[in-house]
Amino acid sequence: MLICLTASHKNAGFDVLERLSSTAGGAGPRLLAGHDAVRGAVVVSTCNRFEAYLDLGTPDGESPVDAVHGAIRAVGEVAAVEADELRSTFDFSHGNDVAAHLFAVASGLESVVVGEGEIAGQVRRSLERARHEGTTTPELERLFQRASQTSRSVKNRTGLGSEGRSLVRLALDLAESRITDWAGTRVLLVGTGRYAGASLAALRDRGATDISVYSPSGRGSKFAASHDLPSIDRRDYARAAAEADVLVTCTLAEHFVVDRAVLAEGRERLAADTAPVRALDGAIVPEPAAERRQLVIDLGLPRNVDPDVTEITGVELLDLETIKIHAPLEEFAATDAARDLVRRAARDFGEAGEELDLAPTVVALRSHVFDVLDAEIERARRRGDDGTTEAALRHMAGVLLHTPMVRSREAARAGEQRAFIDAVAMLFGVTADAGSSADATRETDAKDASGRRAG
């Protein structure tokens, strides 16, 4: 059984999302340890959502509630958030609703900026991290791979994935009212994290050319070289931060990389380094660096910027909480078309999964028929059959199996798997062990292949 626990900008406070996001890297293995029924986990964490996709080994008809509570406790332990708070925050999806939700998320339909492009890559990287941590399962692999296919389909077949839809671009749109000329604006990009490349591209699209980069983790030089930018040394960071007209932060650091102290120190150094100017009365005074206007755009989660920067005269902070308030309304035509594609993809995913659920019974029936077939062929051989009877029996077995195979697919699509399973058990006395279905499949396929070679 697939389930999903979701905390997002729609149902969770920024502080909770921040704590969940900062610990997402270790959540997957902890979720597996949270309850015996949890067979696999993939965690999707972005600046506006934390989601845990779980594959539960819960038998049909058995409640998943205990496993869900165990998963919530595990997340709470990792993020240092009370389980009761998470229970009142998380939205819960199960069954085919999980596919519908993930496909919508991967397609940008659940983002702050509907249709934003970064989320598809974040979903894909979540699966890659789960593979690295050893927490994925075949069913989760199928779910996430289909999500990536659906997001590409939405992008290619609707206008929703058009150029320019992103949180970064929305932030810069909001900054337009403070910037008169991007070409004359000095920009410092702090960080080389998830939004650094997108931020740089969006800045250049607006005409910004005076852009430099600083990385608290020391990766600034490599990023600067690959993007043709000057890199700021750690010793010069405070001064460069104070000198910039716009700071854009996008690091994965779990501490503030810009705060009041950094800007204050930088302004003092800038004032000391600035050539003095002569006032009208002839007095020599320094240029008033402390009064200059600065815009700080914080795209980090956890927060990259301490809110105390606004205590400095002339500094304005634009953070994710502010940005999401100004998210544009959906473009209804494109959104409706995208949601229709998502619904159909989720339905197809569910139908394929339901057919897979019948696989153990189908395999058991085929194995039963081939066992009977092999016994009859052996008796015919003992009677001296020249192969004619064997060929006829194999042909008859194939004809007899054709109709049950067709009916199994029809039952799966109609949601009548239980009726098919009960019918096979009543007519043939055959029941399936789902845990041994893979071995049974290989055994039956081998018999089938042998029969085709012999026939």
Q: What's the CATH number where 270 sits?
A: 3.40.50.720
Domain of residue 119 covers: 2-157
- The alpha-carbon radius of gyration of the chain (Å, integer) is 30
Does residue 50 belong to any structural domain of this protein?
yes
250 labelled catalytic: no
Strands of 9-105, DSSP E: 38-46, 49-56, 91-94
Does residue 376 belong to any structural domain of this protein?
yes
The token pair at 44 is: 């999707």
Single residue among 108, 126, 157 that ends a domain in this structure: 157
Confidence of residue 415 (pLDDT cuts 50, 70, 90): low
- Comparing CA positions, the residue from 152, 167, 154, 129 lying closest to residue 53 is 129
pLDDT for 38 = 93
Whether 159 has a pLDDT exceeding 90, the answer reads no
Which of 33-42, 162-171, 301-310 has the lowest average pLDDT? 162-171
pLDDT for 171 = 87
Q: How far apart are CA 23 and CA 81, in angstroms?
A: 11
Per residue in 7-21, pLDDT tens?
998 888 888 888 888
Whether 302 has a pLDDT exceeding 90, the answer reads no
321 and 197 within one domain: yes
The CA dihedral of 316, 321, 325, 327, to the nearest 10 degrees, is 100
Whether 125 has a pLDDT exceeding 50, the answer reads yes
Whether 445 has a pLDDT exceeding 50, the answer reads no
DSSP β-bridge partners for residue 4: 53, 93
Of how many residues is the chain composed? 455
Does residue 360 belong to any structural domain of this protein?
yes
Q: Between these two residues, 231 and 438, which has the higher pLDDT value?
A: 231
Model-level pTM?
A: 0.62
Confidence of residue 451 (pLDDT cuts 50, 70, 90): very low
Confidence of residue 433 (pLDDT cuts 50, 70, 90): low
pLDDT for 144 = 94
Q: Mean of the pLDDT values across residues 150-169?
A: 75
What burial class does residue 385 get, using C-beta atoms within 10 Å of its C-beta: 0-12 exposed, 13-18 middle, 19+ buried? middle
195 and 99 within one domain: no
Whether 197 has a pLDDT exceeding 60, the answer reads yes
- Residue whose tokens read 């050539």: 275
355 and 321 within one domain: no
- Residue whose tokens read 């096979």: 424
When the pLDDT of each residue in the chain is averaged and rounded to a whole number, the result is 83
229 and 285 within one domain: yes
Does residue 172 belong to any structural domain of this protein?
no
Q: Does the N-terminal peptide bond of residue 302 adopt cis geometry, omega within 30 degrees of 0?
A: yes
* C-alpha to C-alpha distances, 391 to 98, 374, 405, nearest whole angstrom: 47, 12, 21
pLDDT for 450 = 45
Per residue in 361-405, pLDDT tens?
888 888 889 888 888 888 888 888 878 888 888 888 888 888 988
355 and 216 within one domain: no
Contacts of 284 (CB under 8 A, 6+ apart): 276, 277, 278
For the beta carbon of residue 219, count every other beta carbon within 10 angstroms: 16
203 and 148 within one domain: no
Q: Which of 47, 171, 213, 238 is catalytic?
A: 47
Q: How far is CA 50 from the centre of its chain?
A: 9
Confidence of residue 310 (pLDDT cuts 50, 70, 90): very high
**Count of structural domains within the chain:** 3
152 and 8 within one domain: yes
227 and 152 within one domain: no
Say which CATH number the domain at 142 has. Answer: 3.30.460.30
pLDDT for 298 = 93
Whether 284 has a pLDDT exceeding 80, the answer reads no
Does residue 313 belong to any structural domain of this protein?
yes
Q: Mean of the pLDDT values across residues 87-95?
A: 90
Q: Mean of the pLDDT values across residues 239-261?
A: 92
pLDDT for 449 = 44
Does residue 260 belong to any structural domain of this protein?
yes
Does residue 416 belong to any structural domain of this protein?
yes
Confidence of residue 440 (pLDDT cuts 50, 70, 90): very low
Please report, as a single letter, which amino acid is at residue 110.
Answer: E
